[in-house]
Structure 1
Amino acid sequence: MNFELNEEQREFQHIVHDFVAKELKPMARETDETGEFNWTAVKKMGPVGLLGLEVPEEYGGAAVDAVSAAIAIEELGWGCGSTALAISAHNGLALGPIVKYGNDTQKAQWLPPLATGKGKLGCLSLTEPGAGSDLQGGVQTTAVKEGDSWIIDGTKMWMTNASISDVMVVLCRTDRADGSRSLSHIIVPTETPGINVGPAEKKMGLKGSPTHAVTFDEVRVPLENLLGEEGWGLQQTLATLDSGRVGIGALAVGLGQAAYETAVQYAHERETFGKPIAHHQAVQWMLADAATELQAARLMVYWAASLKGAGKKYTKEAAMAKLFATEVSERVCRNAIQIHGGYGYSSEFEVERMYRDTRLMTIGEGTSEIQRLVIARHILNL
């Protein structure tokens, strides 16, 4: 398959790159140090199409193809990991399910403000204190029918965008039976009474992307807020995570690319033993490996995205791309610190932040271990 970008994709990449270079990258350090979400830049993303990447134009979205969407997240990651994660989650995890499973009324209500920047962001609510990788058996948040409403009770964790969102797509147990048809997605406006968003988690990296525990105490929403079919929440979640893994892979490539570029520049500037360290073979090999692995990771991400865009099965390919890209990014960021020597361990240099930011990528939206399980089950037909 040919992965050469077409003219439209290259032009979109150019537009996004210029936007990120101007609005995100110069603020990345401040975003990390203050832990404040970069609303100034995000409010400018609507006209660029970054807040509704794959949302149909009739709902205010950019309606770009899946590869272009991956390109956008990669460029965002190159500029600021924190902002990139929030926008990736908004597009892939919140808007994605509404676009794919929502009815016309739900799409008309939620997509336009979320895609154009006239509202806040969206988020997906899956993980719980006892339910990370094991969603089918671990989800304890319940949604019970009462009259014309769902009554939701439970606790969620690690909700990206919870405090900066207008709407949550919440995975709930709608059937007490512990089966594959026991879970459902329900659209919950964030301002609904009974929702308590806890303090932002204190994290190793990605500090400008707010993450929270959220409790639901008799939260009442209309029955028509059911997203998709009742009992199909697990299947919808798995499909959503396939798409999200392409996004995380792209974000990781962007972070790795930024670290690699910074290391190349430093290798030309820093001198030891009377010459720039770029002339030392040990440094050259680390940079050569970084360039090679990043290109391979990028192609794997584009490959998975192209399958998604073509409507083909891509669960295995998404897992492969996410696994490889995130582990490559961590390795590249680690070696970028090594090339910087002692300076790389200082927060005065960008590679320290990039390393902390990319550390989540092998954990979020399915750990590397889960990706290997997914891949193994597909190649072994288990």
Structure 2
Amino acid sequence: MDYSLSEELEMIRTMVRDFAAGEVAPTAALRDEEERFDRHIFKMMGELGLAGILVSELYGGLGSDALTNCLVLEELSRACASMGYTLFVHSALASSAISMFGTEEQKKLFLVPMGNGQKLGAYTSSECMKTAGAPGVILQTRATRDGDNYVLQGTKFFVSHAGEADVFVVFASTGNDSPVEETSAFIIEKGTPGFILGQKERKLGLRGSPSMTIELVDCRIPIANRLGKEGEGLQIALQTLDSARSGIAALAVGLAQAAMDVSIAYAKTRKQFGKPIAQQQAIAFKLANMATHIEAARLLTYQAAWRESQGGVGDAYSNLFAGDTAMAVAIEAVQIHGGYGYTKAFPVERYMRDAKMLQMVEATMDEERRAIARLIKWT
């Protein structure tokens, strides 16, 4: 088995790493403090081809695979988890859903500007605290057929970068009794009458990718904006999420790496008992454990991405391990920094807040454990 990356992948990783260090990292703390998304950075990502990394070359994208996408997300998250998560939602969820289930007209209309960074995509599934994030629940948002249009009514919560996004993939019930099998997917553009931006969520982490509530009030869209066939919404949601599973793990790996990087730098300069604390066994062992868990999480993530690239689906193992690793490493990073780790003088407190969110978005760690438990053959 060859675990080395190709020369092309190494070049892509180096390019993204340099871009992230030069353009993304310097303003990460400020954007987190202000809870602000930077559209200019996203446009630069579009110019580099990153916004269209999973979009087919037929529509101006790079047409890359899941492993390449993971490398990009890892390096972006290493500089700023919020910006990495924004790209994940844009490319692995919104763009991928349209790529897999859109008509030729929809792909030309939406994927081209999304791929070059002119338009930002968002993905809406969460509806209320009782059902948030679960694609298999009964949806309260309704889409009623009215001639050549659909009229949508409902509320979507926790919509990432909703205030900035231009294209939204929205799920709604098209059945009389709202069963799961009558869920359908739609594409709604920003500015559509009845599409109303609501409350901005005050979040613990990933604050550079602000989340908002969206109200759909008599929101009328043409039937041409339905994604896939009527009733295929659950299939679209599940297949999109399956194809994107390794992306969240990659974000967690990048964040964990960033936490370890700054911890090493601090441990080399902070002195105690006449020598750098990096030479103290207690700190050295912490760093060794951090490095080991990060490498294991990275290998699990690359394996999942490789499987997705071969036409399979990702697994819960990488998401669970990488998410838990990011949280554990971030906490240790705070410990290594001592009292400074609890202040905004160093980025480790932000890493810890962002890591918690990466244990919850798309699927919680307990949901991942439940998925793994179902795979185990109990005796």
Scaled by the length of structure 2, the TM-score of the pair is: 0.96
| Structure 1 letter corresponding to 2:149 | S
| Structure 1 letter corresponding to 2:233 | G
**Aligned pair partner of 2:369 in 362, 369, 372:** 372
Counterpart Cα distance in 1 of 2:178 and 2:34: 43
Deviation at 1:248, TM superposition (A): 1.1
Counterpart Cα distance in 2 of 1:321 and 1:363: 14
Q: Deviations over 1:39-92 (max 9, x none)?
A: 222111112111011101121111112101110000010011111111111111
**Aligned pair partner of 2:322 in 317, 325, 329:** 325
Structure 2 partner of 1:277? 277
Structure 2 partner of 1:100? 100
Counterpart Cα distance in 1 of 2:93 and 2:161: 11
Q: Deviations over 1:258-302 (max 9, x none)?
A: 000000111111011111111111111111111111111111111
Deviation at 1:177, TM superposition (A): 3.7
Note if contact 2:138-2:179 (Cα within 8 Å) is conserved in structure 1: no
SS at match of 1:216: strand
Structure 1 partner of 2:331? 334
Q: Deviations over 1:2-34 (max 9, x none)?
A: 332111111110111111111001111111112
Structure 2 partner of 1:241? 241
Deviation at 1:133, TM superposition (A): 4.5
Matched, 1:151 2:151: yes
Structure 2 partner of 1:127? 126
Alignment of 1:63-78 (within 5 A): 63-78=63-78
Note if contact 2:125-2:133 (Cα within 8 Å) is conserved in structure 1: no
Structure 1 partner of 2:87? 87
| Structure 2 letter corresponding to 1:298 | R
Q: Which runs of 5+ in 2 are unaligned?
A: none
Alignment of 1:209-224 (within 5 A): 209-224=209-224
| Distance 1:167-1:296 versus aligned 2 partners, 3 A rule | same
SS at match of 2:203: coil
SS at match of 2:220: strand
Counterpart Cα distance in 1 of 2:137 and 2:268: 53
| Structure 1 letter corresponding to 2:303 | W
Counterpart Cα distance in 1 of 2:140 and 2:161: 21
Counterpart Cα distance in 2 of 1:373 and 1:229: 31
Counterpart Cα distance in 2 of 1:173 and 1:378: 31
SS at match of 1:144: strand
SS at match of 1:43: helix
Deviation at 1:243, TM superposition (A): 3.0
Structure 2 partner of 1:48? 48
Note if contact 1:136-1:178 (Cα within 8 Å) is conserved in structure 2: no
Structure 1 partner of 2:14? 14
Matched, 1:27 2:24: no
Note if contact 1:136-1:183 (Cα within 8 Å) is conserved in structure 2: no
Structure 2 partner of 1:298? 298
Note if contact 1:244-1:365 (Cα within 8 Å) is conserved in structure 2: no
Structure 2 partner of 1:5? 5
SS at match of 1:347: coil
Note if contact 1:182-1:231 (Cα within 8 Å) is conserved in structure 2: yes
Deviation at 1:368, TM superposition (A): 0.6
Counterpart Cα distance in 2 of 1:107 and 1:41: 24
Deviates more, 1:274-283 or 1:128-137: 128-137
Scaled by the length of structure 1, the TM-score of the pair is: 0.96
Counterpart Cα distance in 2 of 1:351 and 1:187: 38
Alignment of 1:350-361 (within 5 A): 350-361=347-358
Deviates more, 1:241-250 or 1:15-24: 241-250
SS at match of 2:188: strand
Structure 2 partner of 1:261? 261
Note if contact 1:73-1:88 (Cα within 8 Å) is conserved in structure 2: yes
SS at match of 1:162: coil
Counterpart Cα distance in 2 of 1:4 and 1:357: 29
| Structure 1 letter corresponding to 2:342 | Y
SS at match of 1:131: coil
Alignment of 1:195-210 (within 5 A): 195-210=195-210
Deviation at 1:136, TM superposition (A): 2.8
SS at match of 2:145: strand
Note if contact 1:132-1:138 (Cα within 8 Å) is conserved in structure 2: no
Alignment of 1:139-178 (within 5 A): 139-178=139-178
Counterpart Cα distance in 2 of 1:4 and 1:229: 41
Identity across the alignment (%): 40
Counterpart Cα distance in 2 of 1:260 and 1:176: 53
Deviation at 1:178, TM superposition (A): 4.9
Deviates more, 1:137-146 or 1:209-218: 137-146
Deviation at 1:37, TM superposition (A): 1.0
Q: Deviations over 1:193-236 (max 9, x none)?
A: 11111132111122111101111001011112111122121122
Deviation at 1:380, TM superposition (A): 4.3
Deviates more, 1:42-51 or 1:241-250: 241-250
Note if contact 1:93-1:240 (Cα within 8 Å) is conserved in structure 2: yes
Pairs aligned (count): 377
| Structure 2 letter corresponding to 1:272 | Q
